[in-house]
Structure 1
Amino acid sequence: MLALRFPRALYISKHSGRRLFSDLSFPVPPKPKGWPTPWITETDATDYLFPLYSQGWYISAVSGDLPTVKTAGLACRFAFPGCPPAAEFIKDVLTLTETENHHPCWLKLTNSGDNSSVHICSTTHSALRPKWDPTDTSESRALQGITLRDLRLAALISSLPSNTFRPSAEIGPSRTRPTWDELSATLRFWATPASQPTRTKESSDGATDGMIARREKKNPVCAACAGPHPINTCPNRHRIPPPPCALCDGSHWRVDCPVGKESQRSGKRVSQIKKTLAQTPVNPCPNCGGAHWMADCRVPQAPPQLVEALQLPVPKIDPFEANGGKVD
């Protein structure tokens, strides 16, 4: 399948009347026709998905229609030097989604100081997974996932002139940017419902909604594999691509976040720990002279007057008196 390249403007914004694209040199897949849309194939991944990795896009876990089933979404976090350019970018994205008749499953704007970020994740709800079993039917294969609609939307979003985000040139293979074999194996693993006991909210013992909710918490659902166990005991979470960590944006599950573990150990807020990790003190610690902040110093701190008062003089011992006047 050949990539489409558009040398001229494509869309005109309905709100401002300006062109969304002045030049498209990024490979854009053709617009699919009909519903449901099949999942991407290995050829689609080679032609369109893998080039998107270099633009900052990655594979993210998305909850399916059933609580025990997970699927994949195509996500990216765009960074901007402030809120106005991020808001302009969101306007163009919304106009593009109306034109394409395909909307992302989430579109989030986050402001932190002078910087802003826009997090987008796209998946096709009316999709058709591959036929993995001879007994599969159209009804059993109906499962949301990544299709050509998502690859096309991602390519067009990356080509927006209002997108001033330029990802790092050091982006390479990772768990969130898997190869085709890793991606297909993960998708099939996610799409297999885990065996969980059926629960109903109808209680014959007169339990209240709060009591029923507390009972349901005893049967957790793993955020990684959707199994009937908490994620911190999941044996497969290290083989499943995680979404960006909500605490530090790292490529790991939140339960494995070093920032979160340090916060639990020290009792400090996450923002304090991130600030400490991001900044290295220029001057040594005034308390012990170490290469850390004084607030993180493990040496007991006391006023100089108290330290001087607690220092005992070194006793002077005459060696002749200690040996009874005898010389060895």
Structure 2
Amino acid sequence: MILKIELENQKFLDLDFDDIVYLTGIDHKKLWTVFRSLYYYFNRSPRLTSNIYGDNDIELYIDDEKVSVKNNDVFFINNRDSIYQQMQYKKDTLLYELLNKLNDDLDIDHAIENMNNENFRLEIKVQEFLDDYSNNLRINFQDLNYLEMLKNFLVLNYQEDSKNYPLEFMNTESLLDEFLNFLKLKLSKNSHPTWLVLYNVDSFISQYEKNNFFIKIKKLLSEYDLKVVYIGNNLENLPIDTMDLEKIVVAADEFDQLLPTDELLHSVKNNYPNEFNSSEEKFVESMQRIIPYIGIKEKLFLNNKDLVLLKVVNEILNYETSFSFEDQLLTDAETKFLED
């Protein structure tokens, strides 16, 4: 299917989009513009956007059909607070939805009933005390209900190394699994398509946890109606495989969506200066390293094999490659040092 995102007034980015798309590259402004459009489309703010996107405000389509804000659930994960917010009991958060589901649970109903019986006994005790001082006043404790208790009495902390901390002290990475568990439950019960928009995750998730996080996200993709938009400066520590190359969009002078792995590998072999021997898996690994440098105009310092591949891919996409060849050469002493 085709995802059509308005970036400015009647200027659209068209993407082949199935379940996940990766946007990366040297032009960070272009990447921000995509995130901005998605964010303000789903968080309606005509006061901010009408002068940029025109009288129709931001437009977003899938296969020429306008995406419904009402019938799509969207989570934007772009900083530490965006994870923190989902762990709060507030409307439209994952925790709010998770805890509210217990409202119809029979065990919860039974526990609330027992509490109200205790409240009635407490009411009698207080009334007996008050009767010593008043003939007319009557005590009444209102019955409790589960949702009112969540609203008025719930206090959340988080636990780490057997210690309880205020939620504000949260280590973001320690709650990634909780976030995904909550999301999985929502997906299993949800009738609406759910979107996960991830922007600049390297600023608040370590490279190791980033890899684990995406492995689990890709598992959810295979099981539920989830759509993922990844927007980041690079593709490091992402579980990219041979099926993902065509889902990568490079932001340079233009937006360029890559060909499927077999087609792009065939094109590289046809344009390579000598025979290019590589499996599809190894080719994807090499592409994952060079993609963030496609279209860059500054001089590059990459290993020689990556630099050759980058130049080939740049030529396929009509970009030039700038590098200083002298900087790629090693002295005899340096070569011998590496070999020892």
Please indicate, yes or no, whether the TM-score normalized by the shorter chain is above 0.5.
no
Largest Rg, 1 or 2: 1
Structure ranking higher on relative contact order (CA contacts 8 Å, 6+ apart): 2
Under a length normalisation based on structure 2, what TM-score does the superposition of the two structures give?
0.21
